[in-house]
Structure 1
Amino acid sequence: MAEEAKTAPAAAAEAERGKTVVVVAVDDSEHSYHALEWTLRHVAASGAELVIVHAKPSPASIVSFGGPGAGEAMRCVDADLRKIAEAVVDRARRVCIANSVHALIEVIEGEPRYVLCNAAEKHHADLLVVGSHGYGAIKRALLGSVSDYCAHHAHCSVMIVKEPKSKH
């Protein structure tokens, strides 16, 4: 009986909202577009509300020096990051259009792991979908894994979509 009491408010909230909300992370990698396409095939077809999020790095996270020329370097890096974000969003939009799916697309500046968890919370997501870059243990330990962080910290279910291994 206690189990039913816990799930009833969640079911009522979803019924009040009307639709399942799915947040999908995209960046400039093929892994993220594979995850987006997986979501369109498996989740969006059910009528879920789709929110696509691109976490744009801040220029300061890339340029970490001061002194003469730092301001110009920051402007150049920021312009490049904006161009990348526009290309990511444009590609995501084209994939959605090709699949006849409407999606809200957001570009949010910040560290991807925090941006994605915050977006999932802000949109009251039922599911957060991220692509797996397939890093080995050492690279994952050095760089950190966005999907691993999200799996442990997001306030909703997290689907980590892996690209199928090619069969030789």
Structure 2
Amino acid sequence: MAEEKSGKKKVMVAIDDSDCSKHALKWTLVYLKDSLDDSDIILFTAQPPLDLSCVYASSYGAAPMELINSMQENHKNAGLNRLEEGAKICAESGVTPRKAMEIGNPKEAICDAVKKLGVDLLIVGSNGKGALERTFLGSVSNYCVNKAKCPVLVVRAKA
């Protein structure tokens, strides 16, 4: 993922399968429409690593390699399908985004992509987790606000 110098600002919208993520993308396309005309839009998604521990822990022995490969391929395709769905939303607004996906912890993968791609603005959705959930699970948007190497716009979910 080498950085390209096109003179345009790079705006990255991080998406997942949540409604708040789709809301953030649609919000961006409506409220930042004029700014997007002079920007490269990057749709980014992070697929958490596939947990294969159950495959190897079976009392029947290890699963066939074909099954493992199929699970990994389906996992990858889920991320690619998410990007395609986001690209369709962009196309409805006349925007053609670049697409990028990484396998890894979403918090870290988003911030790593910001750095690798030379992103000027990161946009993430916020699902409004309660204090207890944020304490134990953490918040992707909060992590990005504190760790990303660019300004971060957090779009709150609809009330």
Shared fold per TM-score greater than 0.5: yes
Matched, 1:18 2:7: yes
Distance in 1, Cα, partners of 2:52 & 2:20: 26
Listed one character per residue, the Cα deviations across residues 92-143 of structure 1 (whole Å, up to 9, x for unaligned) are 1110111100110111111111111111112221111111121111111111
TM-score (norm 1): 0.79
Q: Please name the residue that 1:12 is paired with.
A: none
Q: How does 1:2-151 map to 2 (within 5 A)?
A: 17-46=6-35, 47=37, 48-59=39-50, 62-65=51-54, 66-67=56-57, 68-70=61-63, 74-151=68-145
Listed one character per residue, the Cα deviations across residues 40-97 of structure 1 (whole Å, up to 9, x for unaligned) are 12234322211110101221xx233434235656435323312321321121111011
TM-score (norm 2): 0.83
Larger Rg: 1
Q: Point out which structure has higher relative CO (alpha carbons under 8 A, 6+ apart).
A: 2
SS for the counterpart of 1:83 is helix
Distance in 2, Cα, partners of 1:71 & 1:35: 40
Q: Which amino acid aligns with 2:62?
A: G
Q: For structure 1, list consecutive stretches of 5 or more residues without a partner in the other structure.
A: 1-15
Q: Please name the residue that 2:148 is paired with.
A: 154
Distance in 1, Cα, partners of 2:13 & 2:63: 34
The alignment covers a number of residue pairs equal to: 148
Q: Which amino acid aligns with 2:8?
A: K
